Each structure stands twice: as structure tokens, then as C-alpha cells.
Structure 1
Amino acid sequence: MDNAYVVPCSSLDLTATPINLTFAFVFDARLDAEKLRRALFQAIETKLPRAGARLVKRSGSYEFHVPRRFDASTPPAGFTHTHHDAPYDRTLPIPIPPHVASEPCVFNRDERKARLFRSPETPGGLSLEDYLKPGRPMLHVHVTTYEDATLLGIEANHTLFDAFGLRDLLLVWTAALRNDTSIPFSPPDIQPFEELKATVAIPTPKKGEHPMRLIYSSETLGFWGTFLVIWGFIWMAIWDPKESTRMVYVPRAWLEEQKEACMDALEERGKEWVSSSDVLQAWLYKTLHAHRKDATPIHINTPINLRRLLPDILPPSLAYINNTTLGCSHTPIPAHKLGSQPILDTALTIRRDLNEWTSPSTRDTLRAEVAWFAQFKGTGKLLFFAPAGGEHLILSNWRSAELNGVDFSGALHEGKEVREVREVKPVYVSSYVQEGSRMPKRGTGTVCSETEDGLWLTVTRSERDWEGIRQSGAVRFV
């Protein structure tokens, strides 16, 4: 294409093509929408042109088409703004009642709040079909301003970025707000995983072998195994169709106490340790399975950012917006055991697996796995996190992406009152999916927001499951 750089979507980009996300940011200050728009467009045009890509599907293959030139008819992104001449009602983040502020609790989530972060023209969110319309930018930003607050929505198909790609976009955007030009230019046609394929002997797994550690593909499962996994999803949608996403709040002080208790118990074991994220996951998984008495294998998967593990193809200085996350699958744990064993036992299982998965001693294995997966650029590869008879559990942890730490003070609105210079960071971060999406999300969750007081998680389960968790008494429902 003469007017665009054509780049096949990588296999990592295509792991969640049906998912259309709206990332939601809440700021306790009024930002200037025009400053935001100008800086965003400047950042994409001069530093990160891949963020201005269009999604195209040709002959069954997905491609990014990055315009060689942006103008009024070919904008870098969609951008809309709504202003309310009134104070914000402070319903996000959800106010924590004082009597439950010291312990974790579960809140219902009002999915209608997503509309505050989307264009009034598409309040339910965009579909994959919308993104495939000729000329439509993959990235759309909607800003809702109040007298004293700003809600910022960043909408895109998951093919464009994960939380770490979003982080790079935010860093380039806020640098433009500060007139900081030091961030290096990111080439529009860069393909880091193609570079990896050229340097690694790609494995050819035999039937029944895992091409990627404890992640299942059609090669691993065979025809009938693959059929049974897919049938399991269909049967679950028939037998237990209703699912919902709820918010889980975890006080930071409480989490630190739990971690200290685990570390005290590990003191005699010498070098072993667990992180607060390990403990958080272990507590959550125990809570979600406290009502279970069955031995169904639970396959836990922890998404890992490849940037820090493959710096030769993804150097820290490179602003790369697309997906770089791959899952570390842990040794399966029976449901009843996961819901009853000490938090430390599960946290140690997670930590030991993560240490092995990220160890320099297994780096060649990781490179071979990524190279194998990278073969399926453009079309993707259907992977499963659990075989038939098992259940998957995936928690995306955005803590290391530090989305709450990005400073938007360069976009402060110059209103009538005099404001002192201060940092303007999100007080809350979350995400929503397109309304009416039929893609099952149960078994997934996100550690989405972290402040000095606590952490917010989104967790999706079936309504039947939520009722069992509530009756178990393992966590307070508010």
C-alpha cells in the first residue's frame, strides 16, 4: 500500500482479537481537552505512529495499516469531548464504607459507567466489525470534563495494545504535554518477533507435546481434545450462562500484613520468598474457590511482560505499543485444595513457577516458545489454558505497568481559580469491554488500580459462582 506501512499483526496481538476495551481513568482535576488532543496527535505523528494504525483483514490475515501521513482526513486517532458544568459526583472509584475499609470486600459493578468514558455516538463501545471499517483509527479517546474532575476513556481493540503498550502510549503522550522531545522515535513498521525468529531454531512439537509450557494448542490436544475443550465452553454457556464482573477492593495495609505473615513463615527456609502480588493472587484464588468441594484441576495462568525478558528485541528505550504479554502457566491445583490450603502454599507455587519461567537458565526455552508462536503472524494461533475437564484462571496484573503513576499535569485546565503546580495522576484506573460481547470472560480478572490506600481488582465469574462465594463467607460483599 503506497499510502501506508503494512505490518502483519503478531501472534501476541491476535490472542484476544474479539475483545474491545475501554480503559477508564479518573483524575481529581479538570484537564484541558484541547491540550490533550493536540499532544496526543503530536505524540502519534512524531514519536509513535503505530498508535495511529488502522486494522485491516485481507485473505483471512489481520494487518496494521499505518498511514504514512496524518492529516484532517486521516487523523492519528478519534477524539471526542463532553463537558458538564457541574462537580463530579465521585462515584468512581466506588466509595469505601468506613466499617469495611480495613479488609477486602466485593462490590457490584455498574457497567453503565463505561458510557462516561466513550463517545456519545458509540455509548456501547465499538465492535471488531467497527474497527475493520476502512479508514477508522484503532485508537479513540473520549474526555468527559467536570468543574473539578476529568474522566479519560481510551478505546481500542485488544489487537492494538496490552497494558504495557498502553503505558508506552501514555508516556509518549504526557511527554508531548511537557514539550519533552527526548523519547526516541518508534518505527511504524517494526516487527521485533520477526527478528527473534531469524535467530532461533523453531521447535516442531509432536502430537501430545507442549509447544509452550503448560499452554495447550491443537497440536497438544489433538482433534478430539480440542473439540472437547470448545464443547466445554458451549456447555457452560448453556448450563450456567449468566456471568458478571465485580470489583474487589484490597486495602494496602491488609495486604502488607498478609505478606509479612508469609515471609515470617518462610524465614526458616532461607532463600525462598514471595511478593505482595503472589500473596494477592493466592488470597484471591483461595477466596474464589472457598465454596468448592470438587477436584476439578484449576489451571492458573499469570501474564508476563516479555519486554524485560527479551531486551535484545524489545529494548527499554523503545516505545512499542503492541502486545508483548505471554502467559506463565502454573502446575494445576484441585479446586477444593485451592480453596482450603494456606495462602502461603499457593503463593509459593506461583513464585516458584514464575522464578523458573523467568530464570536466565530457561531463557533459551522462552525464546524458542516465542519464536514458535510468532510463526502464526496475521492469523494467530488458538491456544487453551486448560484441557477438557479443567478450568482456567487468569489474572492480569497491571501493577508493574504503573498506570496510576502517569502524570497529566501538563494538561491542567487554566480556569478562573489559581492552581498551584502539582502532579495530576489517575486516582482510579479500570477497563470495560464492549456491551453485548458474547466472548466468555469468566475465570479472568485484572489488578487494575493501585493507590496509597489500596488496590482495585475486576473479577468475572458466573452468577452461580458468585453466590457460592458469598455463602462461603470467605469475603465480605458490600
Structure 2
Amino acid sequence: MLVPLSLVDNAVADMGITCAFLFGLPGGSDDASLKQVLDDLHGATRRVVEKWALLQGKPVWSKEKGIWTIDVPETPLAQERPFLFTSERVHKPYAAAASLSALPQPLDASSSCAFQPAHDLLHFRRPDLPSTFADWAKKGASLLAVHATVFDDALAVGVTTPHGLLDATGTGWAVRALTAELHHQPWDVPPSTWARNALTDKFDEVVARPVSDDPEDVRIAKSALPGWVPAAKVGNIARFLVGYVWEKKWHKDELRHVFLSKKAVEALTKSVKDQVRDETGGKEWVSTGDVLTAWAAKALFGHEPRSGASALLSPVYALREILSLPDYPANSMCPYPFSPSPIPYSTFPTLSLATLALNHRRCLLLARKEPFLQATLKVMLAQAKGNLPLMPFKPWPWEKKGTQVFIVSNQATADVAGLSIPRPSATAATASAADEDEGTLHDVDVSAPPSRKGSAASSTAAAAASDLPLLAYYMRITSPLSDHTSFRFQVNAQGYFFEGAMRRKRWQGVERAVEQLEREFGHGAAAAAAPPVGEKQ
């Protein structure tokens, strides 16, 4: 059955999402126990794809409609698609393989806020795995691809999906399903087939409604989709390519990943919330997402006081709730402005986190109103001409007063960082016969048919003590050209993860902000509050 996707999926069809997890292995793990971990991971992946039939499909381009579709088989595939599960064994410690001084320490809610150690994507993702939807279709690759690399003391696991099919929420559902299968728990299976695309139908409904002439609604509608332009125009493409080279060669664009402990983030958020409450008399509030976005913006751009340029932040929010599509698995997002107008770099140092966070909250509330969504959809359809993606506007690098658009994605509710894997001992004790098979640690083939289990509720991880400790997490967006103007947040039980690709000077600003966060709200704050040794509390 051909399942139609939407114009939103078209916009990200040349990207892939990889959720990369690094777990510590117990000392003395032998080949048998390591093989059991891989067998269980392979079996869990296979069962997820078998139950969620959409992931068994193959992308097919519809010329007539100008959209991608997924050819979902009527009956389960007799054989696995390529890349469903692959693995390899590296006979050395992880630190040696990754050129680190030592193995990273396990993360927990009170770990120090810090940049995460460098990693090699090859340990989490096969290099020949496609990143564009067109290549996915050409190779017939599995729409859920799991790659595991076993080191002497660590296990690297990468979960990859095509962004042209799933956004962070949809990918998070796949990660959650894997965790559930690994712990032999039920999980809710998202829809796999539909004759009409529900998101497209909702878009048509919203656009067809009468336009409000209320002055406030008219004002809200005028703020729709600032900074986004058609990706098919030569001038826009030229600006993007020149800017890409400029950032890479001149500004030393870097991909970095930061861990922010729950302890520090919660303390920071409370401080900002208290300030907002005091300034507004309790009439307004901000969320953790508002605070983190404000913190990142100030950290990235607060060190450019002499610049005449401006930043226009363009966060995205999920449309599932506002359009009553809670189970829709494909891309469902809409961009909106972080502020009513671009913010000059020179003003970031003087703006408080409370001011920036409250500014973001107000803009998000307006963006969730129908006049904004209606106007945004009309602009998207008009500019994209029905089937071409949009892109953030890029000024020429030499424009001293240009406005740079930055994409922000808060994926805190998406569960993309929530994978947990039982320790080998726990795995061996609970492994089902369906997952047992002969094989080696390279491309283990678990060929026995998996057993079906009921699916009624979202999965919950087993007790942390029975799972492998998480040492690091990395979100990677793969595409022919990596963007240098976007950053994202994820969260799990250990804390928050902040990542993106930015010029080196901006990451230096983040380094200072991370040190300050740790000093004021992390271990530094705890040490300052602790009484001297021997003093009674």
C-alpha cells in the first residue's frame, strides 16, 4: 500500500537522524555475554519493525502529487531489509579507538556540566547507510537501522531513521519501542498505513477557514514565517553555499555536543522562573525549554557586542497537539519567530535570561494561535509552490548588517535520548528463545522468527541498576551539506543534551556559559553551600 507523506516531509527528505549512545560494559564481559547483548538488540530491532509495519516500507516518489510515499508491504517481509541491524567488534578499549585520554564516566542527574568527548560517527552508523530519501529508496534500506560496535569496555549503539519519514518525535517512538522490546515490555504501536495524509488534510482545513479581520489576529498573521525563503531559487542556494564555505574555512565551523545536568538545569530554571514571576507579578511564566533556548542564545551570541549583524532565531514546534494528531508519526512541525524582530548581536550581553525566556514564551503562545498557523501555511504553500522545500535565508557573509537565521529545535519531549539496554547478566537471565542463535560478533544474524507480544502502553525502562550505564549521547543530523545555523536540545534521565554546528568563536562563548552554569548551579554551587569540614549543619 502506498502511504502518502506531506510537504513537511519533503523539506527534510535529504536528511537522516542518528541517535548515538555510548554505554559502559561490565569488567570481564566475555564473548558469550557480549554476543547475547547483540542478539537481544538485533531481536528487539526486528520485532519493532515487524510490529510497526510502516518501518518495513520503501520510499517511492510520486511525480503526480509531488510528494514522497511509503510502499508498505501488505504482509511482513520474508527477509530483513539491508542495514536493519549491523555490528562489529573492535578489539581495543574505547578510549584508544576514539583517541581519548580515558573512558568517559557514567552520566547521572548530578554529573558535571561539560562538553562531551569527541566521537567517530562510524562507530554508530554504517558509512554506506543512506542519508537522503532518494538513496534510501535506491538501496531499499531499512527505515530503522541499528548499528552496534563492541569495544573491550564499551558498547556504541546508533539508531538511525530517515528524516524524510520521521521527525524527532517519531524517531523517539522507535527508540522507546526498542527499549520496551529489550526489557520485554509492551508498547503502543503507531499507525502504519493511511489512504490520505492526515496532516495534509488538517492543513487544507486550516487554510480554507475564513481569515479573521480582528486587528490582533491580523498582527499575529503578519509575523508568519519570517526569514524563510524558497530553496529552489538560485540566489538563495548561492547564499547558502557561500555561507557554508565561509563558516567552514574562515570561522572554523565545528560540531559540538554538551551535557547539562538535570541538577544544574533545574536550579537555573527555578532562578529564571522566580525572576519572571517577580517581574510580571505572577501573571506570566516560562518553561524549561524557554530558559534553555534563552541560555543557548545568550551563550552563542553574547560575545559579539561590536557586530552590526542580527540573529533571527526560528524555533519549531510540533503540530500534533494543536491539530489533534497525537499518533501521527511523520514530520509534523512548524517554524515560528523567537522574537518579534531580529535581535542585534550587540544587545545579547545586556539582555537577561528572564527577558529572553519570556520573550520566547510570548512568541510561542502567539504562534500556537490559528491566525499564525493559517498565515504560515499559506506562505509555505505560496513560496514552495506545492512541492519545493523552504530554507532559512542566508545573508552574504560580507554583509556587516545582515540578519542570520538560526533554527532551534527543542526535542525534550521526543525521547530520542532514552534508549536503555540491560546489562549482559540481566540480558542472559531474561533472554527469550526467539533471540538465541548462532553467530559471530560481526553482522550477527538472528534468523529465528521473533515472538509477538501485546502492545498496550508506553514502555518504561528497567531499574537503572540492571541497565548498562550511559557514558555519552550524541544526536547527529546527516545530510550532503551539514548546516551551521541550527542547534537542538534532547533530554533523558541523566540530563539535557545541547548540540549543533557553529563557528568556533561561538562555541567558546558556550564554554564560558557552561563553566558559569556549573559554578553557580552545579557542583560549584553545592561546594560553596557546604559547611566547612567539622562544622555542624
| Kept after mapping to 1: 8 A contact 2:338/2:363 | yes
Give the direction of change, closer, same or farther, for the CA distance of 1:281–1:231 in structure 2 (3 Å limit). Answer: same
Deviations 1:204-225 (A, max 9, x none): 99xxx97982345558x9x9xx
Cα-Cα RMSD: 4.2
Question: How many angstroms apart in 2 are the aligned matches of 1:212 and 1:137?
Answer: 40
| Kept after mapping to 2: 8 A contact 1:285/1:339 | no
| Matched position secondary structure for 1:18 | coil
The equivalent of 2:15 in structure 1 is 19
| Kept after mapping to 2: 8 A contact 1:161/1:322 | yes
| Kept after mapping to 1: 8 A contact 2:276/2:358 | no
Question: How many angstroms apart in 1 are the aligned matches of 2:12 and 2:148?
Answer: 26
Name the larger-Rg structure.
2
The equivalent of 1:414 in structure 2 is 428
Q: Which letter does structure 2 place at the counterpart of 1:354?
A: L
| Kept after mapping to 1: 8 A contact 2:311/2:343 | yes
| Matched position secondary structure for 1:431 | strand
The equivalent of 1:168 in structure 2 is 173
Alignment of 1:109-128 (within 5 A): 110-111=118-119, 113-119=120-126, 122=127, 125-128=129-132
Deviations 1:380-422 (A, max 9, x none): 4324367783112223222212334455449953179xx9995
Q: TM-score, normalised by structure 1?
A: 0.77
The equivalent of 1:236 in structure 2 is 243
Q: Which letter does structure 1 place at the counterpart of 2:485?
A: G
Of 332-341 and 139-148, more deviation after overlay is shown by 139-148
Question: How many angstroms apart in 2 are the aligned matches of 1:421 and 1:270?
Answer: 38
1:40 lines up with 2:45 in the alignment: yes
Q: Which letter does structure 2 place at the counterpart of 1:442?
A: H
| Kept after mapping to 1: 8 A contact 2:22/2:157 | yes
The equivalent of 1:138 in structure 2 is 143
Shift of 1:339: 3.7
Of 170-179 and 440-449, more deviation after overlay is shown by 170-179
| Kept after mapping to 2: 8 A contact 1:9/1:377 | no
Of 132-141 and 69-78, more deviation after overlay is shown by 69-78
Question: How many angstroms apart in 1 are the aligned matches of 2:366 and 2:192?
Answer: 33
The one of 214, 219, 223 equivalent to 2:225 is 214
Of 390-399 and 137-146, more deviation after overlay is shown by 137-146
Question: How many angstroms apart in 2 are the aligned matches of 1:307 and 1:261?
Answer: 31
Q: Which letter does structure 2 place at the counterpart of 1:382?
A: L
Deviations 1:238-272 (A, max 9, x none): 44433211122333333333323323323332221
Q: Which letter does structure 1 place at the counterpart of 2:158?
A: G
Q: Which runs of 5+ in 2 are unaligned?
A: 26-33, 212-219, 397-401, 431-461, 517-537
| Kept after mapping to 2: 8 A contact 1:23/1:155 | yes
Shift of 1:458: 1.2
Shift of 1:294: 2.1
Of 236-245 and 81-90, more deviation after overlay is shown by 81-90
The equivalent of 1:67 in structure 2 is 73
Q: Which letter does structure 1 place at the counterpart of 2:294?
A: A
Question: How many angstroms apart in 2 are the aligned matches of 1:196 and 1:449?
Answer: 30
The equivalent of 2:338 in structure 1 is 330
Give the direction of change, closer, same or farther, for the CA distance of 1:442–1:264 in structure 2 (3 Å limit). Answer: same
Shift of 1:445: 1.4
Give the direction of change, closer, same or farther, for the CA distance of 1:132–1:379 in structure 2 (3 Å limit). Answer: farther
The equivalent of 1:295 in structure 2 is 308
The one of 438, 446, 451 equivalent to 2:488 is 446
Question: How many angstroms apart in 1 are the aligned matches of 2:189 and 2:12?
Answer: 29
The one of 373, 382, 389 equivalent to 1:381 is 389
Alignment of 1:334-413 (within 5 A): 334-358=344-368, 362-363=369-370, 365-366=372-373, 369-370=376-377, 373=380, 379-384=387-392, 389-409=402-422, 412-413=426-427
Give the direction of change, closer, same or farther, for the CA distance of 1:169–1:400 in structure 2 (3 Å limit). Answer: same
| Matched position secondary structure for 1:138 | coil
The equivalent of 2:266 in structure 1 is 256
Shift of 1:430: 1.7
Give the direction of change, closer, same or farther, for the CA distance of 1:281–1:68 in structure 2 (3 Å limit). Answer: same
Q: Which letter does structure 2 place at the counterpart of 1:49?
A: A
Q: Which letter does structure 1 place at the counterpart of 2:71?
A: H
Q: Which runs of 5+ in 1 are unaligned?
A: none
Give the direction of change, closer, same or farther, for the CA distance of 1:249–1:421 in structure 2 (3 Å limit). Answer: closer
Shift of 1:349: 0.7
Question: How many angstroms apart in 2 are the aligned matches of 1:93 and 1:402?
Answer: 25
Question: How many angstroms apart in 1 are the aligned matches of 2:187 and 2:88?
Answer: 32
| Kept after mapping to 2: 8 A contact 1:55/1:132 | yes
Question: How many angstroms apart in 2 are the aligned matches of 1:385 and 1:423?
Answer: 48
| Matched position secondary structure for 2:276 | helix
Shift of 1:94: 4.8
Deviations 1:140-199 (A, max 9, x none): 211224576532211233112121001222333444445555635623236221331453
Identity between Structure 1 and Structure 2 (%): 23
Give the direction of change, closer, same or farther, for the CA distance of 1:425–1:441 in structure 2 (3 Å limit). Answer: farther
Shift of 1:286: 1.0
Deviations 1:283-338 (A, max 9, x none): 22111112212232311122212222222xx13xx3x4321222222222111112
The one of 496, 502, 524 equivalent to 1:461 is 502
Question: How many angstroms apart in 2 are the aligned matches of 1:75 and 1:238?
Answer: 37
Q: Which letter does structure 2 place at the counterpart of 1:193?
A: L
| Matched position secondary structure for 1:153 | strand
Give the direction of change, closer, same or farther, for the CA distance of 1:57–1:200 in structure 2 (3 Å limit). Answer: same
Length, aligned pairs only: 443
Q: Which letter does structure 1 place at the counterpart of 2:74?
A: R
Shift of 1:466: 4.3
| Kept after mapping to 1: 8 A contact 2:299/2:506 | no
Question: How many angstroms apart in 1 are the aligned matches of 2:420 and 2:114?
Answer: 29
| Matched position secondary structure for 2:413 | helix
Question: How many angstroms apart in 2 are the aligned matches of 1:169 and 1:378?
Answer: 30
Question: How many angstroms apart in 1 are the aligned matches of 2:469 and 2:370?
Answer: 35
The equivalent of 1:307 in structure 2 is 320
| Kept after mapping to 1: 8 A contact 2:407/2:486 | yes
Question: How many angstroms apart in 1 are the aligned matches of 2:319 and 2:147?
Answer: 30
Question: How many angstroms apart in 2 are the aligned matches of 1:8 and 1:426?
Answer: 40
Q: TM-score, normalised by structure 2?
A: 0.69
